[in-house]
């Protein structure tokens, strides 16, 4: 585990432009998420949907990598803005190619993702020019692993799938491990600023929740709204509000255990992907003609992702400094189990359609939102020493 340093020495003041740069880049992720959402609507459950999930995760990783860079190196210089602009352009291109499907444009997508990793490498290379000592060494090392990952993707692009996918997986492994486990590269990796990281992951979660409202609005635009549509819309807004409350009532205030950040990051990916999938799924209910039902597989996917949201929420609580955790974890796990249980009952009973259970699951989400504050009141958040910040081990 790397040694912690005094905050006055280990954490740098951010550039005055950094916050605005991050917000500007978030706009592109709003656009890319809309593209992925549109692809999810048109893709049945199966290999195609899994492909979209993987493409979303790859885009998310670029966002996370850039966030981790700006967290450690609080820079906002003009060269970084240009690199970020190039990254944003490539992100939109990558999402558009992914929208075309797994059978199209894989070679182009592989080149584009190599380019995206190269932008992360250039960020670290620029950071190494602005730093000294251990920070410079770490930035050079991170630039090197990201350039290597980029090179592997670019080299893999022309190959057939049987070679392309293993080479790409190796490239991802090379960049992911040092990013969330920096001590693999250096025993003196720069500290990350906990408040910034919590704020950025919270903001991105909020963006994903906002996409839920956008999907609902797009679903009802241009059609005559009936009483049934209004009731369905109200339930879906309550669901989005329940997801928002469940996350923001707990996670931004719960702190981080330094030894579990490596789990906290992927738990956020799972949670945010579940939010997008649920938002896309429930928006399709508005467009269903009266008397028609969603295919059972689609309804199971929606409810399964809602259960996944609460499981990921429990995982994030486990990574936090909130104690004691037993009641809270059982509460989150119990919510997910009940959701999955009623779904299995409906799926195995021919008298029911699985999408009928979505209303029951939404009611469970609302009940969870109401009950959660009482569970949270039984816990406290252990504080880190005031003079120290948190390191990743």
Tell me what pLDDT residue 391 has. 42
Q: How far apart are CA 90 and CA 86, in angstroms?
A: 6
Q: String of b and e for 200-236 (b: at least 16 CB within 10 Å)? A: bbeebbbbbbbbbeebbebbbeeeeeeeebeebbebb
Q: How far apart are CA 181 and CA 194, in angstroms?
A: 15
Residue pLDDT, tens place only, 142-156: 999 999 999 999 999
Pair 126, 199 in one domain: no
Q: Which two tokens stand for residue 9?
A: 């020495």
In a domain, 392, yes or no: no
In a domain, 119, yes or no: yes
Pair 20, 73 in one domain: yes
Tell me what pLDDT residue 239 has. 86
Pair 372, 310 in one domain: yes
Last residue of a domain, one of 130, 160, 184: 184
In a domain, 116, yes or no: yes
pTM for this structure?
Answer: 0.87
Q: How far apart are CA 391 and CA 44, in angstroms?
A: 42
Tell me what pLDDT residue 388 has. 38
Pair 210, 336 in one domain: yes
SS3 labels along the chain: CCCCCEHHHHCCCCCCCHHHHHHHHHHHHHHHHHHHHHHHHHCCCCHHHHHHHHHHHHHHHHHHHHHHHHHHCCCCCHHHHHHHHHHHHHHHHHHHHHHCCCCCCHHHHHHHHHHHHHHHHHHHHHHHHHCCHHHHHHHHHHHHHHHHHHHHHHHHCCCCHHHHHHHHHHHHHHHHHHHHCHHHCCCCCCCECHHHHHHHHHHHHHHHHHHHHHHHHHHHCCCCCCHHHHHHHHHHHHHHHHHHHHHHCCHHHCCCCHHHHHHHHHHHHHHHHHHHHHHHHHHHHHCCCCCCCCCHHHHHHHHHHHHHHHHHHHHHHHCCCEECCHHHHHHHHHHHHHHHHHHHHHHHCCCCCHHHHHHHHHHHHHHHHHHHHHHHCCCEECCCCCCECECCC
In a domain, 189, yes or no: no
Pair 137, 205 in one domain: no
Pair 229, 287 in one domain: yes
Last residue of a domain, one of 164, 184, 204: 184
Number of domains the chain is built from: 2
Pair 159, 102 in one domain: yes
Nearest to 84 by CA among 27, 168, 154, 155: 27
Element (H, E) at 374: helix 357-376
Pair 207, 177 in one domain: no
Contact of 31 with 92, CB cutoff 8 Å: yes
Element (H, E) at 380: strand 380-381
In a domain, 388, yes or no: no
Q: How far apart are CA 56 and CA 140, in angstroms?
A: 28
CA 390 to chain centre: 22
- The label of the residue with tokens 């981790």 reads 68
Tell me what pLDDT residue 9 has. 39
Tell me what pLDDT residue 2 has. 35
In a domain, 386, yes or no: no
In a domain, 306, yes or no: yes
Nearest to 49 by CA among 66, 37, 33: 37
Pair 170, 249 in one domain: no
Residue pLDDT, tens place only, 341-357: 988 888 887 777 787 88
Domain range for 351 is 194-381
Q: How far apart are CA 113 and CA 327, in angstroms?
A: 42
Contact of 387 with 253, CB cutoff 8 Å: no
Residues of the chain with pLDDT under 70: 1-16, 101-105, 186-188, 216-224, 228-229, 290, 384-393
Q: For the chain, state the CA radius of gyration.
A: 22
Contact of 73 with 312, CB cutoff 8 Å: no
List the beta strands (DSSP E) in 128-277: none
Last residue of a domain, one of 155, 184, 213: 184
Pair 253, 362 in one domain: yes
Pair 170, 210 in one domain: no
In a domain, 1, yes or no: no
Pair 204, 159 in one domain: no
- Give the CA distances from residue 256 to residues 243, 265, 269, 313, 385, in Å, rounded to whole numbers and listed in that order: 21, 11, 16, 14, 13
């Amino acid at each position: 585990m790397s040694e912690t340093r005094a905050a006055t020495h280990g954490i740098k003041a951010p550039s005055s432009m950094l916050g605005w740069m991050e917000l500007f880049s978030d706009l592109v992720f709003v656009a890319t998420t809309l593209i992925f959402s549109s692809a999810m609507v048109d893709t049945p459950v199966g290999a195609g949907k899994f492909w979209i999930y993987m493409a979303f995760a790859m885009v998310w990783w670029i966002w996370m990598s850039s966030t981790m860079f700006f967290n450690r190196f609080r820079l906002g210089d003009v060269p970084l803005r240009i690199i970020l602009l190039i990254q944003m352009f490539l992100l939109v291109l990558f999402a558009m190619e992914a929208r075309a499907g797994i059978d199209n444009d894989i070679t182009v997508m592989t080149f584009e993702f190599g380019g995206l990793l190269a932008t992360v490498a250039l960020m670290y290379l620029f950071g190494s020019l602005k730093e000294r000592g251990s920070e410079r060494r770490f930035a050079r090392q991170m630039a090197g692993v990201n350039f290597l990952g980029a090179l592997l993707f670019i080299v893999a692009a022309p190959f057939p799938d049987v070679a392309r996918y293993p080479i790409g997986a190796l490239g991802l492994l090379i960049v992911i491990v040092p990013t969330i486990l920096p001590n693999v590269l250096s025993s003196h990796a720069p500290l990350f600023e906990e408040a910034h990281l919590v704020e950025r992951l919270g903001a991105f979660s909020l963006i994903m929740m906002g996409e839920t409202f956008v999907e609902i609005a797009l679903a009802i635009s241009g059609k005559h709204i009936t009483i049934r549509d209004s009731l369905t819309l109200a339930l879906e807004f309550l669901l989005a509000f329940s997801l928002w409350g469940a996350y923001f009532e707990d996670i931004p205030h719960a702190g981080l255990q330094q030894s579990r950040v490596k789990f906290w990051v992927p738990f956020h990916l799972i949670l945010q992907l579940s939010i997008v999938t649920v938002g896309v799924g429930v928006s399709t209910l508005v467009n269903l003609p009266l008397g028609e039902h969603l295919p059972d597989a689609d309804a199971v996917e929606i409810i399964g992702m809602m259960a996944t949201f609460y499981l990921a929420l429990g995982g994030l609580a486990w990574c936090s400094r909130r104690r004691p955790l037993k009641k809270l974890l059982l509460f989150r796990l119990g919510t997910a189990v009940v959701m999955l249980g009623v779904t299995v009952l409906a799926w195995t009973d021919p008298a029911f359609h699985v999408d009928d259970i979505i209303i029951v699951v939404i009611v469970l989400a609302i009940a969870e939102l109401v009950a959660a504050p009482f569970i949270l009141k039984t816990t406290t958040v252990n504080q880190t020493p005031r003079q120290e910040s948190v390191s990743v081990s």
